[in-house]
Amino acid sequence: MESSAPLQPFNLETMAGVFPGVRTQRYQRVRLLPMRGPQVGPVWAQILWYEQPAGCILFRQGEDGAWDTDPLLQLSEPGDDLLARLIGGLREAGWQLQSCGSCHFWSPSISTTIDRLPAGQCGVAPDVGQPAALITQSALALDCPHWLPTAATTRRAEGFDSDGPIRPLQKIAEISESKLKFWPRLWRKIKRAVQPVSTKVSWEATLVERSGVGAGTEPCFGCQGRIANLGALAVETLDGDTQTFSVWRCRACYTTYLNDWIDRWVRLDSLETEESYFRIAPAEARDLLDLIDSVRGGEHPGRRRERGDERAQILRFLDGRTPLSHQIRQGR
Q: Check whether 4 has a pLDDT greater than 70.
A: no
Contacts of 98 by beta carbon, 8 Å cutoff, 6+ apart: 30, 31, 32, 33, 42, 143, 147, 149
Most confident of 163-167, 178-182, 209-213, 227-231: 227-231
Cis peptide before 126 (omega within 30 of 0): no
Q: Which of 69-78, 244-253, 281-290 has the lowest mean pLDDT?
A: 69-78
8 A C-beta contact, residue 138 and residue 118:
yes
Q: How far apart are CA 223 and CA 225, in angstroms?
A: 5
Q: How far apart are CA 42 and CA 149, in angstroms?
A: 13
The per-residue pLDDT for 221 is 92
Q: How far apart are CA 73 and CA 75, in angstroms?
A: 7
| Nearest one of 241, 228, 309, 226 to 275, comparing CA atoms | 241
Is pLDDT larger for residue 163 or for residue 257?
Answer: 257
Taking CA atoms, 301 is separated from 96, 296, 312, 327, in Å, by 44, 12, 17, 22
Q: Check whether 236 has a pLDDT greater than 90.
A: yes
**pLDDT level of residue 321 (50, 70, 90 thresholds):** very high
The per-residue pLDDT for 3 is 46
The per-residue pLDDT for 96 is 93
**Beta bridge partners of residue 265, listed in sequence order:** none
Q: Check whether 264 has a pLDDT greater than 80.
A: yes
- Please provide the distance, in angstroms rounded to a whole number, between the alpha carbons at the two ends of the chain: 46
Q: Check whether 5 has a pLDDT greater than 60.
A: no
Q: Which of 67-76, 230-239, 243-252, 253-262 has the lowest mean pLDDT?
A: 67-76
88's enclosing H/E stretch is helix 82-92
Q: Which of 186-190, 213-217, 248-252 has the lowest mean pLDDT?
A: 213-217
| Nearest one of 274, 263, 281 to 321, comparing CA atoms | 281
Q: What is the pLDDT of residues 12-25, one digit of tens each?
A: 444 444 444 444 56
Is pLDDT larger for residue 115 or for residue 214?
Answer: 115
Q: What is the pLDDT of residues 296-312, one digit of tens each?
A: 888 888 889 999 999 99
Q: Which of 54-68, 163-177, 280-294 has the lowest mean pLDDT?
A: 163-177
